[in-house]
Amino acid sequence: MRVAALLMALILGAGPVMARAPVGPLSNEARTAAYLDHIADSPPRLRIFLQAMPKGGDLHNHAGGANFAEDYLRWAAADGLCIATDSYHIVDPPCDAPGRIAAAGLERDYPHYSRAIDAFSTRGFEAGVGDPMVSGYDRFFATFDAFGAAYGRHVGEAMALTRQQAAADHISYVELGSGARAGWLLGLKMADADASDFAALYARIAPLLLEAVASARADYDRYEAEGAAIDGCGTATPRPACGVEIRYLYTAIRTNPPAQVFAQLTFGFALAEADPRFVGVNIAAPEHDPVAVRDYALHMAMIAFLKARHPTVKLSLHAGELTLGLVPSRDLAFHIRDAVEIAGARRIGHGIDITYETDAPSLLARMARDRIAVEINLTSNAVILGVKGRDHPLSLYRAAGVPVVLSTDDEGVSRSDMTNEYLRAVTEQGLRYADLKQIVRDGLHYSFLPGASLWQDRAGGARVAACAIMDAPGCKAWLAGSPKATSQAKLERELEAFEAMPR
């Protein structure tokens, strides 16, 4: 039998006995992969290579957190705001009161200027030259209070800058976590309500939704128009940023009182149903905050309640942005599982404490089976949690078959960018070109863009039948019906061009 099988293999030219090195020139893909292998030990060379590499989607990026301290100082100065010299937070005028200085002109006062930049960011933390008196997690989350007062009047400009940065990193799609003024105000109205009866609270909020959603949509119309004007979109000389698609994940704040969180979530589900720019709902803010810890299970129950009433709304949830010692160990045991199994999350933000979950192997298997993608934020995890290198669970997820994407989280606060996230994936996580290309493709495959995927099953596998030949007229017609696949087809062309570059 064995001889017969071997003979058959020889006749068919298949099987290990016939394996040999491929003849002829390398494909562009293989040549590109070989080049990355060659430069993998050189961060400067990697930086140049990875900056040019098309990176598909950034699925975890927060409006506001994506912007730089310098921008906030500029906006504060333009609005006549002040800096409190004890905390270096932006505060309202008058600026000649004791303990305050004007934001305008601060660049001529370097000591104060530098302290403000540090208060709005985690500058220097990874290099070991940041503030030694404050932890990464405390500094990181305090920045939002520090610069927040300068954000509200500059949202359109902030978003334009975020798209410019995405274009510089060759990102084609951003799913931006974002709040809405109307959702915030609706939440405040309900802050003191009783959150123990979801149905009753839902009935109280429902009549307020129509107006709040309309107000938020009008705000986003304005932000987008402002952003498009800044980037010159629709003019003869548009910036590359205009080519970056943007969608939003409405993001509730998990550190607010329960009924306020419920109202924000309810608003988010209604907004996502009403406005296709909002492709899903998220919940954020420090997961180790005492309120967030106390209410975690309650929040998952709220989301499950709302998901049952709005089943088409997709969820990406921050879960497991924790590590041993940051909270009592018992609070590391269930956040990711509950986000998946109770709330119905399609993607998980961070997922760092996966190994501390009860029965982690079964959870990993479930996430692999159901294709629950994990948004990995390497710089953010290093700065906030001190988790990096071999301690990071990225390789564990990949080995378990759980899809992963690389994302920036708050690139302005952490003063990183997507290229740097990919660089870390090579230098700290040992990923190579084929791994990165898979992640790039998954950044669109697991996005919440509407429409069918270009890929039948796994990104990078077989394409849908209509697009077996990409240039066929039938493919063009099919792509026209799917914004997701249109974006994916564009990415494939960009990858092809990138791989064809001389090395």
Residues contributing to the site for Zn ion (CB under 5 A): 409
Closest C-alpha to 381, from 341, 446, 429, 431: 429
Answer yes or no: are the C-beta atoms of 21 and 140 closer than 8 Å.
Answer: no
Cβ nearer to Zn ion, comparing 142 with 452: 142
Cβ nearer to Zn ion, comparing 384 with 425: 384
Shortest CB 322 distance to Zn ion, Å: 13
CA distance 417 to 343: 30
Shortest CB 310 distance to Zn ion, Å: 23
Shortest CB 380 distance to Zn ion, Å: 7
Cβ nearer to Zn ion, comparing 340 with 479: 340
Cβ nearer to Zn ion, comparing 295 with 409: 409
- Contacts of residue 125, Cβ cutoff 8 Å, sequence gap at least 6: 131, 136, 139, 383
Cβ nearer to Zn ion, comparing 409 with 435: 409
Shortest CB 180 distance to Zn ion, Å: 17
Cβ nearer to Zn ion, comparing 260 with 380: 380
Shortest CB 353 distance to Zn ion, Å: 15
Q: Report DSSP state, residue 103.
A: S
Q: Report DSSP state, residue 403.
A: -
Shortest CB 271 distance to Zn ion, Å: 19
CA distance 364 to 337: 9
β-strand pairing of 82-84 with 90-91: antiparallel
CA distance 142 to 131: 13
Cβ nearer to Zn ion, comparing 213 with 285: 285
β-strand pairing of 314-319 with 404-406: unpaired
Cβ nearer to Zn ion, comparing 357 with 409: 409
CA distance 335 to 227: 36
Q: Which residue is nearest to Zn ion (CB)?
A: 409
β-strand pairing of 373-376 with 404-406: parallel
Cβ nearer to Zn ion, comparing 82 with 281: 281
Whether the CA torsion 254, 259, 260, 266 is positive or negative: it is positive
**Angle (nearest 5°) at CA 222 between 221 and 223:** 95
Task: List the structure tokens of 389.
Answer: 């290198």
Shortest CB 349 distance to Zn ion, Å: 5
Shortest CB 403 distance to Zn ion, Å: 18
Q: For 63-172, list the strands marked E by DSSP.
A: 82-84, 90-91, 100-102
CA distance 82 to 104: 8
Shortest CB 412 distance to Zn ion, Å: 13
Shortest CB 374 distance to Zn ion, Å: 12
Q: Which residue has the tokens 């293999």?
A: 9
Answer yes or no: are the C-beta atoms of 251 and 62 closer than 8 Å.
Answer: yes
Cβ nearer to Zn ion, comparing 265 with 454: 265
Answer yes or no: are the C-beta atoms of 349 and 321 closer than 8 Å.
Answer: yes
Q: Is 185 exposed, middle or buried (0-12, 13-18, 19+ CB in 10 A)?
A: middle
